């Protein structure tokens, strides 16, 4: 079941999102070490979400169409990060730098952790995945845990590969190219934020029975 979870998790990773792009941008600008610290931040939050989904905590927030209000914090963080990346590309960052004692690695870890945690809908997503696969494969409690661990391992594996790819191009990244990459990623982040906001508006306008 561990291998099944790993394979299924890799399939999910093909849907590239803002976290993957953040890891790529961090690796190309700051190197593999900083990007891998960010991967650890992502894995920590994803692991907590998976545990919460497995333990049924998500049932507390799955009543009354929570999708609309849960989209708000995720959209806000994506807007903030996207605007900061665009402004940084122009040489005027919006967000203050983290304290120097945290270093590059610590800063990347915190940023990735916040970016991942800003999307509580991930909790509902994992709940749906486990519910569907439990019904399909008749998984017991222990098998669901192994499946979840496999999914988490695939996240670390895939994002580490992204970090390696970004680290390989770092020596060729000039300040101009780094700024351009940050600008493109910033625009993509704003696009993801708009999708969340648009989805929330649609859901909030749905009639309730």
pLDDT for residue 206:
60
| Cα 36 from Cα 117, distance rounded (Å) | 17
8 — pLDDT class (breaks 50, 70, 90)? confident
Percentage of the chain beyond pLDDT 90 is 22
Q: What is the pLDDT of residues 81-118, one digit of tens each?
A: 788 888 887 888 786 654 433 455 668 898 899 888 87
Which whole number is the average pLDDT over 165-175?
A: 85
Q: Cα–Cα distance between 25 and 133 in angstroms, integer?
A: 33
Dmax (CA) for the chain in angstroms is 58
DSSP string, 112-135: HHHHHHT-THHHHHHHHHHHHHHH
* pLDDT tens digits, 105-163: 668 898 899 888 877 667 777 877 777 777 677 787 788 889 999 999 999 999 999 99
Tell which residue, 159, 166, 41, 19, has the closest CA to residue 105: 41
| Listed residue (170, 149, 187, 172) closest to 21, CA to CA | 187
CB 114 within 8 A of CB 45: no
Question: Which two three-digit tokens encode residue 141?
Answer: 């409690």
Cα–Cα distance, 55 to 57 (Å, whole number): 6
Given this model, what pLDDT does residue 209 score? 47
What is d(CA 121, CA 75) in angstroms, rounded to the nearest whole number? Answer: 11
The confidence score (pLDDT) of residue 104 equals 53
57: confidence class by pLDDT, cuts 50, 70, 90: very low
pTM exceeds cut of 0.85: no
Q: Which residue did the predictor score with more confidence, 58 or 125?
A: 125
User: Mapping DSSP to helix (H, G, I), strand (E, B) and coil, where does residue 205 land?
Assistant: coil
Across the chain, what does the average pLDDT equal?
Answer: 79
Give pLDDT, residue 160: 96
Q: What gap in Å lies between CA 87 and CA 72, rounded to an integer? A: 22
Handedness of CA 146, 54, 132, 9 (dihedral sign): negative
Judge contact between 27 and 165, C-beta under 8 A.
Answer: yes
């Amino acid at each position: 079941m561990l291998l099944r979870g790993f394979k299924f998790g890799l399939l999910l990773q093909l849907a590239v999102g803002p976290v993957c792009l953040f890891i790529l941008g961090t690796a190309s600008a700051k190197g593999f070490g900083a990007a891998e610290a960010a991967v650890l931040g992502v894995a920590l939050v994803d692991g907590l979400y998976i545990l919460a989904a497995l333990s049924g905590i998500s049932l507390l927030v799955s009543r009354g169409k929570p999708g609309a209000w849960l989209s708000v914090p995720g959209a806000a963080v994506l807007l903030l990060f996207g605007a900061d990346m665009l402004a940084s590309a122009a040489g005027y960052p919006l967000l203050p730098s983290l304290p120097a004692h945290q270093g590059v690695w610590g800063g990347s870890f915190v940023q990735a952790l916040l970016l991942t945690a800003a999307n509580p809908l991930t909790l509902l997503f994992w709940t749906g995945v486990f519910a569907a696969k439990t019904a399909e494969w008749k998984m017991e409690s222990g098998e669901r845990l192994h499946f979840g661990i496999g999914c988490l391992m695939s996240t670390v594996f895939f994002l580490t590969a992204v970090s390696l790819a970004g680290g390989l191009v770092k020596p060729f990244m000039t300040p101009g190219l780094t700024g351009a990459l940050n600008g493109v990623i910033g625009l993509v982040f704003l696009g993801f934020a708009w999708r969340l906001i648009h989805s929330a508006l649609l859901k909030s306008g749905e009639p309730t029975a």
